[in-house]
Amino acid sequence: MAPTIDMEARFLDYVTAENKVEPKDWMPEGYRKTLVRQISQHAHSEIVGMLPEANWITRAPSLRSKLILLAKVQDEAGHGLYLYSAAETLGTSRDEMIADLHSGKAKYSSIFNYPTLSWADMGAIGWLVDGAAIQNQVMLCRASYGPYSRAMVRICKEESFHQRQGYEIMLHLAKGTQEQKDMAQDALNRWWWPSLMMFGPSDDNSPNSAQSMAWRIKRKSNDELRQEFVDKTVPQAKFLGLSIPDADLRWNEALGQHDFGSIDWNEFFAVVAGNGPCNSERIEARRKAHAEGAWVREAASAYAAKQAARRSSAAATKPQAA
Ligand code: 3HC
């Protein structure tokens, strides 16, 4: 059925009244497309996001820290799976989404294209990257699309654990020897600006925000969320005794928030375009993992086909009730 202006207007009223949209409900094609774009990018970010941290599982400094990091990386895999499932309810298959990631057509978060050089990076990622993710994602628990909003509730709970895991590592290093403190500061210096970039381009350069906010997918703009993150994180850095690498950072009494320096948008757009320090390494690692996992997918499909054949032959031979 061709959509009418009236249907689009009724849809807008429906989501404005805070109703949830479910997979079989009518929705504007643009809404469906935006959701597939955002949810699949989000899923890819979770899966690619496992790589920088997985790099440190074998080098964690204690059994305790190794177990926690392992659990965290496994959580990210789970988040990817919930999100791919949510996107599939909109009619796009997981195979299509993964093919787009591997061909370089699909985007994923810029942040995962930076290298992890020391154990302190596990702290900075948990504290800043997962911290920024929570700042952005809590609002998504109220997204108008039911399957996405429900997936986000669990994801956000797990992200809070990740943020604390990272902050605990930073706390440990910041209260340690001078060498450990230097490692923590170095990690903060390298991860601060890329973490601010995670929120996306500034509001005047964000083509999707206005429509996504009208459809109640996003609730706050990229700049609002970035500001909230800065205001929340500055006191945490102070508590650690570390300095945020921004000479222009200062409290603005009149506005009741921090002013901060300019973001290097050339760097952001270069990373998003595939030219960050680790883009090709990340995609290559995902392609390799996919190829090496082919036998698992084949075995699972063969098993499912065998079970289905058994069920249908059992149904065919079942005596009919008199
Ligand atoms: N990295 C890569 N691309 C980005 C980006 C980033 N940090 N920020 C924005 N972009 C892209 C957008 O995807 C969009 O490209 P497209 O139109 O081709 O899809 C373009 O830049 C313009 O940006 P907009 O602001 O117009 O786009 P959105 O309205 O979609 O806002 C967003 C971008 C804030 C990232 C939003 O999509 C969002 O909230 N997504 C869900 C959360 C998410 O994906 N987070 C990834 C973080 S990592 C993570 O969650 C893993 C955790 O374990 C740490």
Beta carbon of 46 within 6 Å of any ligand 1 atom: yes
In this structure, the residue with its CA closest to atom 54 of ligand 1 is: 130
In this structure, the residue with its CA closest to atom 44 of ligand 1 is: 42
* 288 Cβ contact partners less than 8 Å away, ≥ 6 residues apart: none
The residue type of 304 is A
Residue written as token pair 């949830």: 20
CA angle 22/24/27 to nearest 5° reads 75
Beta carbon of 110 within 6 Å of any ligand 1 atom: yes
Beta carbon of 220 within 6 Å of any ligand 1 atom: no
pLDDT tens, N- to C-terminus, the chain (322 residues): 566 779 999 999 999 999 999 999 999 999 999 999 999 999 999 999 999 999 899 999 999 999 999 999 999 999 999 999 999 999 999 999 999 999 999 999 999 999 999 999 999 999 999 999 999 999 999 999 999 999 999 999 999 999 999 999 999 999 999 999 999 999 999 999 999 999 999 999 999 999 999 999 999 999 999 999 999 999 999 999 999 999 999 999 999 999 999 999 999 999 999 999 999 999 999 999 999 999 999 999 999 999 999 999 998 887 766 5
> What's the 109 CA to ligand 1 centre distance in angstroms?
6
User: 286 and 102 in contact (C-beta within 8 Å)?
Assistant: yes
Beta carbon of 200 within 6 Å of any ligand 1 atom: yes
Strands (E), the chain: 250-252, 257-259
